[in-house]
């Protein structure tokens, strides 16, 4: 397939205004990649659609005896390159369009990292903080039972995402194993170690974000030591990226934030100490964190700080037309999925800001999920060092391929990553042909 240089079409950029902005952005970038690749229309049409979408109404009994019904989804975007793979998110804003967009991103991410997976995503529209642990367990088990017909170790393998964790995956796996009548570790990834989880999986996305940050700094001739970084989101991805960048690469993390706001210190935050506090007090928010030596800032202020690198690692749609032209950082590494809206992406490109896109920057999670799946299928487990060194190699290889594609064709990294990924997905579709 020939690659041809073309600017992003305005029609594409302005289309689809009734869809979620993440879906609009993902679809526009997809169309852009189609044009670059001069892809045949039939294959474009296949990639534009999800292969399969399931919506379920999940009734659960609350602790006080009431019954509530929550809406859940599982969307499989593509299985052309292998079993569908993607996380499960619990958040009030979850809807079908968001899950569609995230499933598409997963197909592209698997392809960028050359994993033998397609893409999927799931979610429940719920505020998990409003449920007790017992209610969350009932919700997870009922949801697992309802989406079970389309799951499978060779069909569709879930993992954690926003507000879900190894415990969620343990309940999900156990529910599916009860139906099956035997243990089924390979049906999900991101499990606790005691249930066939992989060493290094919990930190993997943050570690991948850290590796991507170091790789872009190296390519731009910058020394990671002392590089000033602001990180939005201090959950799984943000907190691990912060620890690894400060402890292993001596970067200076000057600001972090969560949903309650942020903290800033010009001389650098003691990330190790903060992470220890958060581990010791699950549910702690930065607004509750009571230690001197930093200023309180808002999430809006964090995004426009005068830093070298900005890592959005919270939620989608954080970098928008409202703030894109005020962002000072010359490097943005997208830890979150879809943190940059389409219009903001255009502004950043015009301002020559280097954006390491989500489908590359946060691929460490799915890479390590792949390692977990391989270990479960072989019933042979690797130690932490082996996982880390394989993750490093896989991330560096993916980064190098995207960088080379961008460099050779004078592309921004997002267009390069999308084009590489779409090319790989399209090739699988074309080589399979159509059934029947
Ligand atoms: P998480 O639930 O562990 O953490 C999310 C963090 O974002 C929390 O600190 C929360 O307080 C904060 N947050 C929420 N809303 C915010 C807001 N409006 N402003 C600022 N902070 C806010 O979730 P996570 O697993 O760390 O995922 C974060 C992002 O990374 C998501 O976009 C997710 O899809 C993506 N991602 C996660 C993984 C993974 O393995 N967990 C893999 C790939 C991509």
Q: Tell me how crowded residue 192 is: count the other CB atoms within 10 A of its CB.
A: 15
* Ligand 1 atom at minimum distance from 314 CA: 7
**In angstroms, how far is CA 199 from the centroid of its own chain?**
19
Q: Which residue, 306, 299, 410, 316, is CA-closest to 362?
A: 316
pLDDT exceeds cutoff 60 at 380: yes
User: Percent of the chain, pLDDT > 90?
Assistant: 93
Q: Which domains occur in the chain, in start order?
A: 50-183 (3.40.50.10860), 202-314 (3.40.50.720)
Q: Which atom of ligand 1 is nearest to the CA of 338?
A: 32
**Strand residues in 161-260 grouped as ranges (E):** 228-232, 252-258
Residues 143 and 72: beta-carbon distance below 8 Å: yes
Tell which one of 103, 237, 370 to mutate to probe ligand 1, the residue whose CB is within 8 A of the most ligand atoms: 237
Nearest residue by C-alpha to atom 35 in ligand 1: 336
- Across the range 270-280, mean pLDDT stands at 93
**CA trace torsion 242, 243, 244, 249 (10° rounding):** 80
- Pocket of ligand 1 from Cβ distances under 6 Å: 160-163, 205, 232-238, 257-259, 299, 313-315, 335-337, 362, 365
Predicted confidence (pLDDT) per residue in 314-354, tens digit:
999 999 999 999 999 999 999 999 999 999 999 999 999 99
Q: What is the pLDDT of residues 44-85, one digit of tens each?
A: 999 999 999 999 999 999 999 999 999 999 999 999 999 999
Mean pLDDT of 268-290: 92
Pocket test residue of 21, 117, 163, 205 for ligand 1, highest count of atoms within 8 A of CB: 205
121 as an active site residue: the answer is yes
Q: Which residue from 344, 259, 265, 354 is spatially nearest to 309, judged by alpha carbons? A: 354
CA distance 430 to 424: 10
* Residue closest by Cα to atom 32 of ligand 1: 336
Q: Is the pTM of this model over 0.85?
A: yes
Omega of the bond prior to 436 within 30 degrees of 0, cis? Answer: yes
DSSP string covering 310-366, please?
Answer: EEE-S-SS-B-TTTGGG---SEEE--SSS-B-HHHHHHHHHTT-EEE-HHHHTTHHH
3-state secondary structure of 375: helix
Strand, coil or helix: 255: strand
Q: Which of 241-250, 253-262, 266-275, 277-286 has the lowest mean pLDDT?
A: 277-286
Q: What is the mean pLDDT of the chain?
A: 95
Which ligand 1 atom is the nearest neighbour of the CA of 234? 9
10 Å Cβ neighbour count for 371?
A: 24
Catalytic annotation, pick one of 4, 85, 109, 121? 121
Q: Which of helix, strand or coil describes residue 31?
A: helix
CA distances for 383 relative to 58, 146, 248, 387, 424, angstroms: 38, 35, 19, 6, 31
Cα–Cα dist 177/79, whole Å: 23
Residues pairing with 53 in the sheet? 75
In sign, the C-alpha dihedral spanning 345, 347, 352, 353 is: negative
Orientation angle between helical segments 413-432 and 96-112, nearest 10 degrees: 90
β-strand partners of 125: 91
Over 50: is that where the pLDDT of 12 sits? Answer: no
């Amino acid at each position: 397939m020939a690659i041809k240089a073309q600017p992003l079409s305005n029609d594409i950029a302005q289309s689809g205004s009734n869809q979620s902005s993440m879906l609009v952005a993902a679809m526009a970038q997809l169309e852009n990649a189609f044009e670059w690749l001069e892809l045949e229309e039939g294959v474009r049409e296949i990639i534009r659609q999800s292969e399969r979408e399931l919506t379920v109404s999940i009734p659960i009994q609350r602790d006080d005896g009431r019954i509530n019904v929550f809406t859940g989804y599982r969307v499989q975007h593509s299985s052309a390159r292998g079993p569908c793979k993607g996380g499960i998110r619990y958040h009030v804003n979850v809807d079908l369009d968001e899950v569609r967009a995230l499933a598409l991103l997963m197909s592209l991410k698997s392809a960028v990292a050359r994993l033998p997976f397609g893409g999927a995503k799931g979610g429940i529209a719920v505020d998990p903080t409003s449920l007790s642990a017992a209610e969350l367990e009932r919700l997870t088990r009922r949801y697992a039972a309802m989406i079970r017909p389309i799951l499978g170790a060779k069909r569709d393998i879930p993992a954690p995402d926003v507000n879900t964790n190894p415990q969620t995956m343990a309940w999900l796996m156990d529910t599916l194993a009860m139906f099956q009548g035997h243990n089924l570790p390979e049906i999900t990834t991101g499990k606790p170690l005691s249930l066939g989880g992989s060493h290094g999986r919990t930190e993997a996305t943050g570690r991948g974000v850290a590796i991507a940050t170091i790789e872009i700094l190296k390519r731009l001739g910058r020394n990671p030591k002392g590089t000033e970084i602001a990180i939005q989101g201090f959950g799984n991805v943000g907190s691990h990226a912060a620890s690894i960048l400060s402890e292993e690469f001596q970067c200076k993390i000057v600001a972090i934030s969560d949903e309650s706001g942020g903290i800033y210190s010009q001389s650098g935050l003691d990330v190790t100490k903060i992470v220890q506090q958060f581990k010791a007090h699950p549910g702690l928010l930065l607004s509750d964190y009571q230690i001197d030596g930093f200023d309180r800032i808002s999430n809006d202020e964090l995004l426009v700080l005068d830093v070298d690198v900005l890592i959005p690692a919270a939620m989608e749609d954080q970098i928008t037309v409202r703030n894109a032209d005020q962002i000072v950082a010359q490097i943005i590494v997208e830890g979150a999925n879809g943190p940059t809206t389409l219009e903001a992406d255009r502004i950043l490109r015009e301002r020559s800001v280097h954006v390491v896109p989500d489908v590359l920057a946060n691929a460490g999670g799915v890479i390590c999920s792949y390692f977990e799946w391989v270990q479960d299928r072989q019933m042979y487990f690797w130690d932490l060092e082996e996982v880390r060194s394989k993750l490093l190699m896989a991330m560096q290889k993916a980064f190098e391929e995207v960088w080379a594609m961008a460099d050779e064709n004078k592309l921004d990294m997002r267009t390069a990553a999308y084009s590489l990924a779409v090319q790989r997905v399209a090739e699988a579709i074309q080589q399979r042909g159509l059934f029947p």
